[in-house]
Amino acid sequence: MTIELHTLKSAPGARKNRKRVGRGQGCGNGKTAGRGSKGQKSRSGYSSKAGFEGGQMPIHRRLPKRGFYHEKRHPFAEVNLSMLESRFEDGAEITVEKLRSAGIVKSKRGGVKLLANGEVTKRFQVKLQAASAAAREKIEKAGGSLVLVQMEKAPGDAAAAATEDEQSSAQETVAPVQEAVEPVQEAVEPVEEAAQTRESEVDVPESEVDLSESEETEE
C-alpha cells in the first residue's frame, strides 16, 4: 500500500478525546467535575501568582538572603598554564588582546586571571589583570615574568559617559553666557558716547566768561 496524503493517519493512541466532565453522576466526573468541594480553586477564572501559598508567607520570602551584587565588580576570564604552554611559543608576550585573538578567552570587563593548572617550561612575558600565587611561582621558576596591569575602560562605561556629559554641559552653559555679554558691551559704548557729548554741551561759552570778568573789574 502506497502512502499518499489522503492515506496518512496518526499512530494508534496518539489522539485522545477530551475528557467530558460535569455531565451527570454516571460519568464518574459529575457534580464537582474533578475540582473538589467548593473554594476559590473550584470557581471559573481562578488564577494565582507563582509561589502563592494561600496568603501565608511564601517560601521565597521565608528563606534568608545571602550575598550581594557589586555594580563595579566584574568576573575574570580564567586561563590555565597548560593552555599557555600549548598555544604560545617560548619567549612570547601574553596579553589580553593576544588571548582574545587566539580564541582562548572571551571579552570580559574584569580582565583575565591566570591559574596554576599545568606545568610551564617556556619563558613567557605575561601581562594580565590577576594571577594565583602558584601560577606566579611557576612562571618565574621557568624564567619568565608576570606583571599585573589594570584593565582598560571601555568607551561605553558609565564613568566615561558621565565625564563627557559634564564637559558638554559646561560648554553649552559657557556659550550662552558669552552671547549675552556681547550685547551688553555693545550697549555700553553708546552710553559712554552720550555722556561725552553731554559734558561738551555743559561747557560755558567764552563770551559769558569775558562779560563776568569785565563786571568784576568795574566794581
The Cα–Cα gap between 180 and 178 comes to: 5
Band of residue 209 on the pLDDT scale cut at 50, 70, 90: very low
Q: Residue 3 has what pLDDT?
A: 87
24-28, 35-39, 185-189: which range is least confident on average? 185-189
18-22, 116-120, 140-144, 187-191: which range is least confident on average? 187-191
pLDDT tens-digit profile of 69-105? Answer: 887 788 899 999 999 999 999 999 999 999 999 999 9
- Helix (H) / strand (E) element for 168: namely helix 158-202
Q: Return the SS3 of 36.
A: coil
The Cα–Cα gap between 211 and 39 comes to: 122
C-alpha cell at position 172:
553649552
Q: Residue 6 has what pLDDT?
A: 92
Check pLDDT > 70 for residue 215.
Answer: no
**For 88-146, where are the alpha helices, taking DSSP H only?**
96-101, 133-141
pLDDT tens-digit profile of 191-203? Answer: 566 666 665 555 5
- In order, the DSSP letters of 62-83 are HSPP-----TT--PPEEEEHHH
- Helix (H) / strand (E) element for 73: namely none
Q: Residue 72 has what pLDDT?
A: 77
Domains and CATH numbers, the chain: 77-148 (3.100.10.10)
* Owner of C-alpha cell 451527570: 24
C-alpha cell at position 184:
551688553
Q: How far is CA 38 from CA 26, 35, 63, in A?
A: 21, 8, 32
Residues linked to residue 113 through DSSP beta bridges, in sequence order: 78, 130
C-alpha cell at position 55:
496568603
